[in-house]
């Protein structure tokens, strides 16, 4: 298959030949008759943060208040009745929706309070490989590990069973000290198993929730650049400017990636604000300026916290452009780029179009990132 005069990620134009996901040739544009002409060619998209164990459950116990608190309560009730078949069917259906939107790498958090969900998602990981999706599973202790000591063993067991990364939820522990301790416990557990860390970090409006700096210090002291992800980090939206600047620099120095989840957090955060209402978003522009890596996650696909998810990463990207004030041409291009570049970091980096490199590869009929975001364009998988 020839894609002619198409834009490559480095901004150049080329004719590209792809067969069975592998790039066979890249040559300067010609007038040859190709299978596609124009547009842009990118790697497949990557999803850095979703909860597949809870996906598609939203209608089973509707969140009547629309709040984080009721979402957690509904999830606890639903979790008790999970079966392997149920988790498998919902997760498989969700991953199929992701593929339809060009997403072939997915990192899911699994609530380690359910051994059923852990086992089901670990088993699904192998099956999904045959369907074309690379699935990673993060051991996520939804209720904390010091607040709920009975959950600590389950969290450790899930990691021992073969999870791909170690999670934690430090802002949900009882005290600031225990939150910080839980971060260190997650790093210790990850170190014992040779795994990366992916925290739900400071997903709160409380500006005194300061676990991100602890995660950065641990990453620096252990030399774990590129091995740590901090998800959400919404507390940053309420902190004084000088502190935000310090933390953003620390994040960059530590090589920690911040993954923002604008769909959930714009509706779940700011609920106690009587005005002005904060937006529930880590300061993406400030993180970029500091040199930090930022990923964009979908977080929820029709789950107890947020029923409006679509498994289309262009939705959180579109919303991020608005609530993050990222509307310069350069910033909108960078948001789109995050989906097929920065979002791959947990998977070892994005494929780069060069001869011999394997995709999957996507073709976008319009090369303009603003048009892609505006229309939530559907990419086409090419040369599969
Ligand atoms: Zn999450």
pLDDT at residue 68, rounded to an integer: 85
Phi then psi for 190, rounded to 5 degrees? -65, -40
* 125 Cα to the center of ligand 1, angstroms: 19
Percent of the chain with pLDDT strictly greater than 70? 100
pLDDT at residue 150, rounded to an integer: 85
Question: What is the per-residue pLDDT across 10-19, written as a single tens digit (0 to 9) for each?
Answer: 999 999 999 9
- 19 a catalytic residue: no
* 200 Cα to the center of ligand 1, angstroms: 6
Under 8 Å CB-to-CB from 366, ≥6 apart: which residues? 39, 40, 372, 375, 377
pLDDT at residue 55, rounded to an integer: 97
- Mean pLDDT across the stretch 77-102? 97
Question: What is the per-residue pLDDT across 262-283, written as a single tens digit (0 to 9) for each?
Answer: 999 999 999 999 989 999 999 9
pLDDT at residue 12, rounded to an integer: 97
Under 8 Å CB-to-CB from 169, ≥6 apart: which residues? 140, 141, 142, 143, 144, 182, 199, 200, 203
* 375 Cα to the center of ligand 1, angstroms: 26
* 191 Cα to the center of ligand 1, angstroms: 22
* 275 Cα to the center of ligand 1, angstroms: 26
* 267 Cα to the center of ligand 1, angstroms: 14
* 211 Cα to the center of ligand 1, angstroms: 16
- Whether residue 333 is predicted with pLDDT greater than 90 in this model: the reply is yes
CA 243 to CA 365: how far, in whole Å?
Answer: 43
**Nearest partner of 110 among 96, 120, 95, judged by Cα:** 120
The pLDDT confidence band at residue 212, using thresholds 50, 70 and 90, is: very high
- Mean pLDDT across the stretch 123-150? 95
Which architecture characterizes domain 45-347 according to CATH? Answer: Alpha-Beta Barrel (3.20)
* 263 Cα to the center of ligand 1, angstroms: 11
- Whether residue 3 is predicted with pLDDT greater than 90 in this model: the reply is yes
Average pLDDT, the chain: 96
Under 8 Å CB-to-CB from 123, ≥6 apart: which residues? 84, 88
- Mean pLDDT across the stretch 355-366? 97
* 280 Cα to the center of ligand 1, angstroms: 14
How would you label 27-37 residue by residue, b for 16+ Cβ within 10 Å and e otherwise?
A: eeeeeeebebe
Question: What is the per-residue pLDDT across 23-71, written as a single tens digit (0 to 9) for each?
Answer: 999 999 999 999 999 999 999 999 999 999 999 999 898 899 988 889 9
- Strand 22-27 to 45-50 pairing: unpaired
pLDDT at residue 275, rounded to an integer: 87
pLDDT at residue 149, rounded to an integer: 81
- Whether residue 20 is predicted with pLDDT greater than 90 in this model: the reply is yes
pLDDT at residue 77, rounded to an integer: 94
* 347 Cα to the center of ligand 1, angstroms: 18
pLDDT at residue 148, rounded to an integer: 83
* 166 Cα to the center of ligand 1, angstroms: 13
pLDDT at residue 210, rounded to an integer: 97
The pLDDT confidence band at residue 170, using thresholds 50, 70 and 90, is: very high
Cα–Cα distance list, 314 to 13, 46, 51, 199, 370 (Å): 24, 11, 18, 23, 11
* 229 Cα to the center of ligand 1, angstroms: 12
Question: What is the per-residue pLDDT across 289-328, written as a single tens digit (0 to 9) for each?
Answer: 999 999 999 999 999 999 999 999 999 999 999 999 999 9
Q: Where are the domains of the chain?
A: 2-42+353-382, 45-347
Q: Which one is the CATH code of 2-42+353-382: 3.90.1150.10, 2.30.40.10, 3.40.50.300, 3.30.420.40?
A: 2.30.40.10
pLDDT at residue 69, rounded to an integer: 85
* 14 Cα to the center of ligand 1, angstroms: 39
Among the options 203, 329, 330, 380, which is catalytic? 203
- Whether residue 370 is predicted with pLDDT greater than 90 in this model: the reply is yes
SS (H, E, C) the chain: CEEEEEECCCCCEEEEEEECCEEEEEECCCCCCCCEECCEEEECEEEEEECCCCCCCCCCCCCCCCCHHHHHHHHHHHHCCCCHHHHHHHHHHHHHHHHHCCEEEEEEEEECCCHHHHHHHHHHHHHHHHHCCEEEEEEECCCCCCCCHHHHHHHHHHHHCCCCEECCCHHHCCCHHHHHHHHHHHHHHHHHHCCCEEEEECCCCCCCCCCHHHHHHHHHHHCCCCCEEEEECHHHHHCCHHHHHHHHHHHHHHCCEEEECHHHHHHHCCCCCCCCCCCCCCCHHHHHHHCCEEEECCECCCECCECCCCCCCHHHHHHHHHHCCCCCHHHHHHHHHHHHCHHHHHHCCCCCCCCCCECCEEEECCCCHHHHHHHCCCCEEECC
pLDDT at residue 348, rounded to an integer: 97
């Amino acid at each position: 298959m020839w894609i002619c005069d198409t834009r490559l990620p480095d901004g150049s134009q080329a004719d590209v030949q792809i067969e069975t996901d592998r790039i066979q040739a890249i040559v300067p544009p010609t007038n040859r008759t190709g299978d596609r002409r124009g547009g842009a060619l990118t790697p497949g998209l990557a999803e850095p943060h979703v909860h597949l164990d809870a996906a598609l459950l939203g209608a089973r116990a509707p969140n009547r208040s629309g709040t984080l608190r009721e979402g957690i309560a509904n999830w606890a009730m639903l979790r008790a009745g999970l079966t392997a078949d149920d988790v498998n069917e919902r997760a498989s259906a969700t991953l199929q929706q992701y593929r339809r939107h060009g997403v072939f790498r997915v990192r899911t958090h699994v609530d380690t309070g359910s051994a059923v969900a852990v086992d089901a998602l670990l088993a699904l990981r192998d099956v999904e490989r045959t369907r074309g999706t690379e699935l990673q599973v993060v051991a996520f202790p939804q209720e904390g590990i010091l607040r709920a000591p009975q959950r600590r063993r389950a969290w450790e067991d899930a990691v021992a069973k073969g999870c791909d990364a170690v999670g934690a939820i430090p802002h949900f522990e009882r005290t600031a000290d225990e939150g910080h301790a839980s971060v260190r416990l997650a790093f210790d557990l990850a170190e014992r198993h040779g795994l990366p860390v992916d925290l739900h970090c400071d997903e709160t409006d409380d500006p005194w929730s300061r676990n991100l700096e602890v995660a950065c210090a641990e990453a620096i002291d252990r030399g774990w650049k590129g091995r740590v992800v901090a998800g959400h980090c919404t507390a940053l939206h309420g902190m004084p400017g000088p502190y935000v600047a310090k933390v953003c620099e620390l994040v960059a120095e530590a090589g920690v990636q911040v993954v923002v989840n604008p769909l959930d957090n714009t509706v779940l955060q700011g609920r106690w604000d009587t005005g002005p209402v904060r937006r529930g978003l880590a300061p993406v522009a400030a993180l970029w300026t500091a040199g930090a890596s930022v990923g964009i996650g979908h977080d929820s696909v029709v789950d107890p916290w947020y029923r409006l998810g679509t498994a289309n990463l262009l939705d959180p990207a579109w919303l991020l452009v608005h609530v993050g004030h990222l509307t310069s041409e350069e910033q909108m291009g960078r948001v789109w780029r995050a989906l097929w570049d920065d979002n791959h970091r947990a998977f070892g980096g994005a494929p780069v179009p060069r001869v011999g490199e394997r995709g999957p590869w996507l073709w976008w009929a319009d090369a303009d990132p603003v048009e892609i975001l505006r229309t939530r364009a559907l990419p086409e998988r090419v040369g599969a």
